[in-house]
Amino acid sequence: MLLLVAFSWRSRMHINPDGISYLDVSQQMLKGDLRAYFHPYWSPLFPALLALATIVIPAGSAKVLLLAHAIIAISALAGLAAFIFFTIEWRRLLRARSTLEPDEAASSSRVLFDLALFLSVTIVFVSTDNLTPDILVLAVVLAIAGTTCRLAEGRGQSGSAIALGLLLGIGYFSKAALFPLGLLLLVFLTISWFGRPALRIRLGIAMLVFVSLTAPYIAALSTLQNRPIFGDSAKLNYSWLVLRNTPLFAGWTKGSENSGTPVHPPRVLGSSPTVLEFDHTTPGTLPVWYDPSFFYQGLKTHFDLRLQFRQLRQAPAQALRNTRKVTLTALVLLAVLAMLAHKQSHESKSAVPWLIAWAISAYVMYGAVELLPRFVGPFFVIFVTVVTGELFDRIRTTSILLNTFLLLGAAALLLMHVVFSRLIGGTISAESDGKVQQVLANDLRGIGVEPNEKIAILGDPFNVYFAFQDKLQVVATIGFRGGNEQGDSNMFWSMNAKSQALLEDQLASLGVSAIISSSPCGSAAGSEWLAVGNHHYCALVIHGR
């Protein structure tokens, strides 16, 4: 618990582009914008919790980041509680079918390993750094797993069935991907519990609660979007990352037979460099990332077997990104336990086949688009915890001492990696440092850029927490052509003085008060460009021209 708090405190000023959008959605909720609760891309629970916390503990824009990270810290502690609940219920279920007497030393080593595994996944896979709902998803998924174990063991009654349905619904509101994964879990439970009438009844109750929670929301969301939808994240990411038929994240201005035609494309003000304008479109600090669904309306997606195989080949490397040591430590342990168990036991049936199938399905589903560790972290915990427990249970007492040392050694390796890689090492970039962004916001006010004004960004437009701080809105980008395209912001500096002046006047006519460069200006910048912030930003004030 103390380590979770320490990591959360260390990252209290960390900000990321997705986090800015969640903060924007939260602000729209506070303004009474009901559409913010039915956002097609950003799930509603995390920003709703932030909005509620802001009502209870009023916080200005300078403090809202701390409040948001407090929610992340509380979610991490809730995840720990959910993990303890899951492991207790799982061990009870496993003990009910075990023929071996429990060994105190072995049990203690398993507890230590399980806790080390949870901490490693929470910090390394999911991370308390980012303002995303992934920590919340971790807590919900582990609570769901524990509830299914409680029901399977026979201790859970109708109350547990209702809780399962509620948790599945909360999971969907936390992240849209948990809707299909929730349906898959219900299918796996139906197959596993088909021969147990009492469990079938309780599963029916859980299904009824789940449908009652999610169906009205999906109906309202579909009505607002004028099409059947439970969330747009999968569709857009499949286009961006697998099909690659549109610019990544933003910048879709031209349609094709393959991708469709954009209904709300950003207006192209120039091509050398690329200048995109999106004033009066959607709310948010950066409208194109506040509501990607709006700017990608009209997008067509299709299944491409060749491109799908390309993504599946990349998936293992994606899953190991920054998690190689933790993953390999757990998998090597499982391999050793499997060899020992194979020699001593012919038992092959799992006590919780639905959880193993659910974890594998999550890897397959995310692997079809992008297998990021933070997406599958909770399922990795479930898989390793379940398989480790079942393999350990099949090993005879003559090998218990060896396996106890194996578990303790693996736990020590996991903890050392977490501490040395994250608590002692690791740095935060200026773009992700809320303190640096606050200094930048203050400096912009010092040169005449007032709150609630419009700005343009030269270069990468996504790291704009300074704009959120002062309620600035980015309404144009210069040199950005999409996250998967080579930017052409350098062309701005090679423009002649007349062309630059024409562009600046054009932006000023739209109400843009300043152009902010996310990279050093260099010698090509005129004397009107001013260094701002304590890093590499510079700005040109253009209002009043």
CA distances from 130 to 115, 191, 352, 500 (A): 22, 37, 32, 37
Give the residue ranges of DSSP H helices in 320-464. 324-344, 353-367, 373-393, 400-418, 434-446
Residues 103-149 have pLDDT tens digits of: 555 678 888 999 999 999 999 999 888 899 999 999 999 999 999 99
Q: Is 506 exposed, middle or buried (0-12, 13-18, 19+ CB in 10 A)?
A: middle
**Per DSSP, what are the bridge partners of residue 108?**
none
Does residue 430 carry a pLDDT above 70?
A: no
Q: How many helices (H) and strands (E) does the chain have?
A: 21, 7
One-character DSSP codes across 290-315: H-HHHHTTTB-----HHHHHHHHHHH
Rounded CA-CA distance 174/179 in Å is 10
* Phi, psi (deg, nearest 5) at residue 513: -95, -25
Give the residue ranges of DSSP H helices in 154-240. 158-174, 178-192, 197-225, 233-237
In 10 A of CB 117, how many CB atoms? 24
Rounded CA-CA distance 63/528 in Å is 32
One-character DSSP codes across 311-335: HHHHHHHHHTTTTHHHHHHHHHHHH
Residue type for 537, please?
Y
75 contacts 49 by C-beta, under 8 angstroms: no
Among 36-50, 237-251, 472-486, which is the least confidently predicted range?
Answer: 472-486
Residue type for 119, please?
L
Sheet holding 538-541, edge to edge: 267-271, 274-277, 473-478, 454-458, 512-517, 538-541, 530-531
Q: pLDDT value at position 253?
A: 92
Sorting pLDDT into bands at 50, 70 and 90, what band is 521? confident
* Percent of the chain residues past pLDDT 90, beyond the cut: 62
Residues 342-371 have pLDDT tens digits of: 655 555 678 899 999 999 999 999 999 999
254 contacts 266 by C-beta, under 8 angstroms: no
- Residues 191, 374, 245: CA angle, nearest 5 degrees: 90
pTM metric for this prediction: 0.93
Rounded CA-CA distance 166/209 in Å is 6
Residues 466-504 have pLDDT tens digits of: 999 999 999 999 999 887 677 788 888 888 889 988 999
Instruction: Please compute the mean of the pLDDT values over residues 193-209 and round it to a whole number.
Output: 93
Instruction: Please compute the mean of the pLDDT values over residues 173-202 and round it to a whole number.
Output: 95
More confident residue, 351 or 203: 203
Q: Residues for the chain: how many in total?
A: 545
Does residue 271 carry a pLDDT above 60?
A: yes
More confident residue, 508 or 419: 508
Instruction: Please compute the mean of the pLDDT values over residues 82-91 and round it to a whole number.
Output: 95
